Amino acid sequence: MKNRYIKNAHISEAKFKEILRLFGADLTATQISELAKLERKTVNRILQLLRARIAEFAEEESCFCSGEIEIDESYFGARRVRGKRGRGALGKTKVFGMKKRDDKVYTQVVANCSAAELVPIIKKLAPNDSTIYSDEWKAYDGLVNEGYKKHYRVKHSDDVFANGRAHMNGIENFWGVAKSRLIKLLGIRKEKFNLHLKET
């Protein structure tokens, strides 16, 4: 069957465009399957391909030009385990994020939130003349020594969440949107988590 969008496709271009339209409306695979009158397995395969291409494109577009950049880390997964406190409670997926104000967001799943893990990502994506806004997490302590002379900290420990232009509202808003979006999927396999995050 001819389909210029998917090699060896078993559905028509028109049907693919219908799936794409429903995907763009942020419907679940089950909803798309019902509306497009296709097997869930077929829809899942196509959505997987779409998400993989989105993730690929996001990586290609990941570098920031200088400007105001908010950085933060977040933890995705089940609710906090009772008795386990602090950042990255047991079993959660650790994600580092950067958001250029009025522009794009970059996310990366990380092994941990140490300086050794996060600083190389910042250096790779943000020029030294960028203005960096972060919280007080210790991994960001040495950014000035790395050449980021304009690094401003938001002191959440003092219940300060904004001080003029020094805030992290953009990246924190993104985390909220991402978590709300991913909750509706009722569980994501770990190997597919990054694709869903990049889609967001």
CA 157 to each of CA 134, 136, 161: distance values in angstroms, whole numbers, following the listed order: 13, 8, 9
How high is the mean pLDDT of the chain?
85
The answer to whether residue 111 is domain-embedded is yes
The answer to whether residue 7 is domain-embedded is no
Residue 23: give the domain boundaries: 13-60
For residue range 33-83, what is the model confidence (pLDDT) as tens digits? Answer: 999 999 999 999 999 999 999 999 888 877 777 799 999 999 987 665 555
Judgement on whether residues 43 and 137 belong to the same structural domain of the protein: no
Report which of residues 189 and 14 the model is more confident about: 14
Judgement on whether residues 195 and 98 belong to the same structural domain of the protein: yes
- Residue 154 near residue 162, CB atoms below 8 Å: yes
Q: Cβ of 123: how many Cβ atoms within 10 Å?
A: 14
* 120, burial (CB in 10 Å: exposed 0-12, middle 13-18, buried 19+): exposed
Q: Would you state the pLDDT for residue 160?
A: 57
Among 90-94, 148-152, 158-162, 179-183, top mean pLDDT goes to 148-152
Q: At 183, which CATH number?
A: 3.30.420.10
Domain count, the chain: 2
- Band (165; pLDDT cuts 50, 70, 90): confident
